Amino acid sequence: MDYLLLFVTSLLAATIVPMSSEGALAAAVALTPGEWGAYLAVATVGNTLGSVINWMLGRALAAGQGRRWFPVSPQSLERARQRFQRFGTWSLLLAWVPWIGDPLTVAAGLLRVPLGLFIALVLTGKFARYFVVAWAARELVTG
């Protein structure tokens, strides 16, 4: 599989585009098991950058708080802030989880989680998930 295609697939899968990248990573590794580490790195970086896009979207939305067009009511925003603070920024390790990961990364931007901390936590979680997928695909092919 082409590295650029895997990168774009992984990046888009981390945004609000409804798609998954685990199958693409597993297929790439199955086709070329000797390159599983490179595929792991490409998918991890692409997916993490997709989450950074979500974080930036959250930061842009934060600038509109209090305006009529702002898509979240002050009460809903406060509930989200309390929930995020209850589970803490460590919850960003779960940014890879379907259905909760994308809103979590947007909320992190909206709630002004520092970008460096955001990247460190999101990258760690996404790397761990992709490591399991890539390793399992390699093991299935190579025995």
Highest mean pLDDT among 6-15, 55-64, 95-104: 6-15
More confident residue, 61 or 124: 124
Q: What is the DSSP letter of 88?
A: -
pTM of the complete model beyond 0.75: yes
- The whole-number pLDDT of residue 139 equals 96
Q: What angle do CA 53, 23, 6 make, to 5 degrees?
A: 50
Nearest to 29 by CA among 11, 20, 42: 42
Type of residue found at 107 = A
Residue 138 in this model has a pLDDT that exceeds 80: yes
